[in-house]
């Protein structure tokens, strides 16, 4: 009986019969039981009045131990102690052991990785794992600079397993360029339920801050960015800079620095989830993943006007194992852009437009090497866009684009519905002809249907003179004029492949088989 009382007294501790005493971290639990005045006296009485076989020595021993516990009194705060089950990741872990460099071009001070706070402000939530930025001094009136409150909340949340940094729904929070750096404890959630925004335009941007990026998430594993709120980019004044395309006098583009910040950047991180957010009016790219692995994007709403330059919705580069699902993107540039160094990308149920469609590239700029492989786009809708599904490479580049699938894509009033352009040049007339090229092979177009803008042919394959496009497969492609009649036939140059079914319109310029000039696959370096 006395042994039973001892086990109850130390509920949650190690069984005394194993020869181990309760750990120091569990002592507050034991003390709270013995000082509440409810459990301990009956248990002590029970123990000391137990059957005679217990013996006086054992009863005295139990009484002495309990008295020692009482003499400790209430213990001081040891900080928050949390016990959580580890969350399972949705993907593979990134490769460890690499020395990580700080993001380039950002002057914002990164928070100390994993730093804990000795005096953490009380949180508005009863859950001690929720770190509300208001509890750290954020005002949320849309005018006050809340940067330091966000940084403090991040430091506190980063050091706790399964923590949530909360941006509450009843505020508009203005913060300056900030690096939210890891490594952090597993299961970290950055929950945006209110509005978060940068300073309003280049004139209000602090001179000490980077103009290349605003929110940077760096060296993190297993983090989630989500919420029912909005990340507002305040990009209008950035779009109007005279150095932007056609923003100078009489539609010109003036020379000079044209730095504009990427709104959200994930850098050198893995096992990431971004979901359910509204992101709008970015000065440049809305969200960018650079040197990341295992990225899951779902349920995003990305919006900026059709005239906003360089505002790609989702951009990835040097990133592997990416899923982009169930999202709506309208902007002034690529809906989704896939840069060099990307592989294993799965895009499903995405609606784009207006914008420039879904693009692989541009690749090979400045004679660089670019490798992209295993990209799948399925069940997509593209409306009122300058391009549909596009592969674009610069002359002089190296590397390859291979194993690409566009399946079940609906087009509505789209120019250049299907396009491979190996003569891409962002500044027409200033690009020299060069012989080397990124090799494009193994591209499948299946069940591509809808309407096109007759100002451009619906299919355009402009492949390199020296390195033809090969293994292009066309099946169930039916594209009709949105208005009027077809002006230009589909265009092909040095493109080889096969038509599984008759296409509408016909594309007789696609050549069968393999080119004689390409006797063997070149050394691509990928």
Give the catalytic positions in this structure: 356
For the record, the structure tokens of 517 come out as 């000039």
Return the structure tokens found at 495: 């493109």
Distance CA(164)–CA(154), nearest Å, equals 9
Distance from C-alpha of 382 to C-alpha of 501, rounded to nearest angstrom? 23
Cα dihedral 271→274→275→279 (10° resolution):
-170
SS3 526: coil
The two three-digit tokens of residue 129, written as one number: 């794992």
Rg value, the chain, Cα:
30
d(CA 427, CA 181): 37
- Work out the angle at residue 134's Cα, subtended by the Cα atoms of residues 128 and 138, and round it to the nearest 5 degrees: 145
- Contact between residue 350 and residue 388 where contact means Cβ atoms under 8 Å apart: no
Calculate the alpha carbon distances from 2 to 16, 69, 102, 490 in Å.
Answer: 12, 17, 60, 90
For 263, how many CA atoms within 13 A lie in the half-sphere containing its CB?
31
DSSP letter string, 278-306: EEE--SS-SEEEES-EEEEEES-EEE--T
| Cα–Cα dist 264/287, whole Å | 5
Quick one: how far is CA 273 from the chain centroid?
Answer: 6
- Give the whole-angstrom CA distance, residue 296 versus residue 91: 9
Angle of CA points 192, 193, 199, to nearest 5°: 60
- The rounded Cα 229 to chain-centroid distance in angstroms is 16
Q: How many CA atoms lie within 13 A of 75 on its CB side?
A: 16
């Amino acid at each position: 009986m006395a042994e039973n009382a001892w086990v109850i007294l130390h509920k949650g501790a190690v069984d005394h019969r194993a020869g181990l005493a309760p750990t120091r971290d569990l002592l507050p639990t034991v003390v709270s039981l013995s000082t509440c005045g409810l459990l301990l006296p009956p248990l002590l009485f029970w123990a000391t009045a137990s059957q005679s076989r217990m013996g006086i020595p054992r009863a005295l021993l139990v009484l002495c131990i309990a008295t020692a516990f009482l003499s400790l009194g209430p213990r001081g705060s040891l900080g928050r102690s949390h016990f959580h089950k580890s969350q399972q990741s949705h993907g593979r872990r990134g490769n460890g052991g690499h020395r990580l460099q700080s993001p380039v071009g950002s002057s914002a001070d990164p928070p100390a990785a994993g730093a804990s706070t000795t005096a953490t402000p009380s949180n508005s939530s009863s859950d001690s794992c929720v770190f509300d930025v208001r509890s750290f001094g954020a005002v949320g009136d849309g005018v006050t600079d809340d940067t330091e409150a966000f940084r403090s909340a991040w430091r506190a949340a980063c050091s706790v397993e399964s923590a949530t940094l909360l941006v509450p729904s009843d505020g508009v929070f203005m913060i300056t360029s900030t690096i939210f750096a890891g490594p952090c404890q597993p299961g970290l959630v950055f929950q945006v339920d209110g509005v978060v925004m940068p300073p309003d335009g280049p004139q209000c941007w602090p001179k000490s801050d980077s103009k290349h990026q605003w929110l940077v998430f760096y060296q993190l594993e297993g983090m989630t960015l989500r919420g029912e709120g909005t990340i507002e980019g305040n990009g209008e004044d950035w779009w109007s800079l005279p150095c932007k395309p056609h923003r100078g006098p009489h539609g010109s583009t003036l020379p000079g620095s044209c730095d504009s910040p990427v709104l959200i950047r994930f850098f050198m991180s893995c096992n990431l989830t971004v979901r359910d957010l509204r992101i709008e009016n970015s000065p440049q790219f809305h969200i960018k993943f650079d040197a990341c692995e295992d990225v899951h994007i779902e349920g995003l709403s990305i919006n900026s006007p059709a005239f906003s330059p360089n505002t790609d919705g989702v951009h990835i580069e040097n990133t592997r194992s990416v899923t982009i699902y169930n999202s709506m993107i309208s902007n002034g540039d690529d809906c989704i852009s896939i840069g060099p160094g990307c592989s294993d990308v799965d895009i499903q149920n995405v609606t784009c437009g207006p914008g420039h469609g879904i693009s692989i590239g541009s690749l090979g700029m400045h004679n660089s090497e670019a490798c992209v492989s295993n990209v799948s786009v399925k069940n997509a809708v593209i409306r009122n866009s300058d391009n549909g599904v596009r592969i674009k490479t610069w002359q002089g580049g190296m590397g390859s684009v291979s194993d690409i699938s566009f399946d079940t894509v609906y087009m509505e009033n789209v120019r250049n519905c299907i396009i491979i352009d190996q003569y891409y040049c962002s500044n027409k007339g200033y690009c020299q002809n060069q012989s080397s090229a990124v090799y494009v092979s193994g591209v499948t177009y299946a069940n591509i249907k809808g309407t096109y803008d007759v100002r451009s042919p619906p299919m355009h394959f402009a492949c390199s003179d020296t390195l033809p496009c090969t293994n292009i497969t066309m099946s169930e492609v039916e594209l009709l004029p949105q208005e009027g009649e077809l002006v230009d036939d589909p265009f092909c140059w040095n493109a080889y492949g096969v038509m599984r079914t008759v296409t509408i319109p016909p594309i007789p310029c696609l050549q069968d088989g393999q080119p004689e000039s390409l006797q063997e696959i070149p050394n691509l370096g990928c």
